[in-house]
A and B are shown apart, each in its own frame.
Chain A
Amino acid sequence: MSIIINGSAAALPGDPRVSLLDFLREDLHLSGTKKGCNQGACGACTVLVDGQRILSCLALAVQFDGREVTTIEGVGHGNELHPLQQAFIEHDGFQCGYCTPGQICSAIGMAAEAQRGVPSHVSADLSADVILTREELQERMSGNLCRCGAHNGIIDAITMTVAADLAA
């Protein structure tokens, strides 16, 4: 049983109780993914599995045999930041930084969903192409809480990268 983390294979834990989050942080020492509430309410633990954003705190690692996981450590290329990481710096998208890895992984997954036309709760027309207005971004990112005051910076950073990309 093995799992691919940021392009490298790793053996899954023997104890099925280990969450994907604890596996990443405690076993693989990839501490970029954060443990906030540990009950699926805050989004700090968001990672990408086969390109889809999920909550690693509610995921048992053993369920992800053979799957590809991308964490915040794997979104850039070497020393080159992911455009969203750069945008978070430019737009003050963080203060304490604890929600940031989850916000960025979530935004990457959100962009892919929007690209393939997944509607949201605030989409007036379920079948129309997605236009990532501020209202759409706020709804689509509502699973990631920021409690220190950077929310508007986060939405600005995503708007300048993801929404601009989609519009192009």
Chain B
Amino acid sequence: MNPFSFTRASDPTEALRLFTGNASYLGGGTNLVDLMRETVARPERLVDVTGLSDTIEETEDGGLLIGAAVRNTALAEHRMVRTRYPILSRAILAGASAQIRNMATVGGNLLQRTRCTYFYDTDGSRCNKRAPGSGCDAIEGFNRNHAILGASPACVATHPSDMCVALAALDATVHLTGAGGARSLPFTALHSLPGDHPDIDTVLDPGELITAIELPWLPFAATSTYRKVRDRASYAFALVSVAAALKLDQGRITDVRIALGGVAHRPWRALKAEAALRGAAPTEQVFRDAAIAELADARPLKDNGFKVELAKRTLVAVLVDLAGVAA
């Protein structure tokens, strides 16, 4: 690990002031400390932001405002999250291990880096995300875990978070503060597709700080879930995951939210599937057609063609389950 200085911020203003030069904000450390040990990340200054807001409050319009320093476990176990947004509790509980969920913050979860093994292999592999312009060894390499949607010739990495898939489906908002003041972004606008600059994961400005996540009032999210398919029953990253919420009224789908994980460089909001479902009858054939529409643009690599059918089947299975509950 390269040398760095360590400071602790007690509020966002102090955090911005302490963030100078080649710095990184530090949350629970579950990803950043590992990246630093592997010298993938080499910040010269760490600003500990775990002392910032760790509260979960109901907003005036009935949503929830979640401080960026809230630990993953605290969010998953929160009474209102469990009952109003089970999609979010379930996504968090499907990720990592209990020890890591106790450490990891909400803000840090959003900013974790891909687990592409070529990204981590500083000694032996080319990686445009780690060393821009060096090439990508995953494209012709062992790419069973990699992206099938939205990838580029520069990068086929996937976003590793489960929680973010639920946040994408829920139309969450990200609250930020930076040198230019405070601003808010739709959650789905936070993460980038790789394009020519896979070294850039998000649209955040340098030093810009995530202060909170806001969930909208969304009553039908009480009928929502998260399903994750992985190589072992627990403690593994997703091959494919589906976060979905479904609203039925008089035998029709009146509202629906879907996002996919494990398939792209960012949590993949499934707008095509949603459009195909709105107003339709909740039948398995309709679900299947919606899944086919969403995956029509999939471009599998050498080893991950199975993900296309897996994503379709998982999406159909989740919708069948939710339709059974919502009916």
Contact = CB atoms under 8 A, between A and B. Distances in A.
B77 A109 contact: no
Given A58-B34, A59-B29, A127-B83, A143 B4 contact: no
Nearest to A47: B99
A117 B77 contact: yes
B98 A113 contact: yes
A30 interface: no
Contacts of B273: none
Given A43-B97, A106-B98, A142-B97, A121 B34 contact: no
Given A55-B30, A121-B94, A17 B102 contact: no
A119 B89 contact: yes
A39 B96 CA distance: 13
Tier of interface size on chain B: 35 or more
A145 to B, nearest CB: 8
A119 B5 contact: no
Given A40-B34, A117-B77, A16 B4 contact: yes
Nearest to B89: A126
A17 B98 contact: no
B34 A143 contact: no
B5 A16 contact: yes
Scoring B76, B96, B99 by chain A CB atoms within 10 A of each residue's CB, the highest score goes to B99
A4 interface: no
A138 B234 CA distance: 9
B33 interface: yes
Interface in A42-56: 43, 46, 52-55
Contacts, number: 99
A119 B76 contact: yes
Nearest to A142: B234
B1 A39 contact: no
Scoring B37, B83, B94 by chain A CB atoms within 10 A of each residue's CB, the highest score goes to B37
A143 B97 contact: yes
Contacts of B5: 16
Given A106-B98, A119-B93, A143-B97, A38 B37 contact: yes
B103 interface: yes
Interface in B68-107: 73, 76-77, 79, 82-83, 86, 89-90, 93-94, 96-100, 102-103
Contacts of B90: 121, 126
Given A59-B103, A121-B93, A139-B234, A109 B6 contact: no
Interface residues of A, number: 37
Contacts of A40: 30, 34, 100
A31 interface: no
A54 B82 CA distance: 23
Interface in A78-104: none
B3 interface: yes
B211 interface: no
Given A43-B97, A52-B73, A55-B103, 18 more contacts: A19-B33, A38-B37, A40-B30, A46-B99, A53-B102, A54-B102, A54-B103, A58-B100, A59-B33, A118-B76, A118-B77, A119-B77, A119-B82, A120-B93, A126-B90, A142-B233, A142-B235, A143-B98
Interface of B: 1, 3-6, 8, 26, 28-30, 33-34, 37-38, 46, 48, 50, 73, 76-77, 79, 82-83, 86, 89-90, 93-94, 96-100, 102-103, 233-235
11 contacts: A16-B46, A39-B34, A39-B38, A40-B100, A53-B98, A58-B30, A63-B29, A126-B90, A143-B98, A143-B100, A143-B235
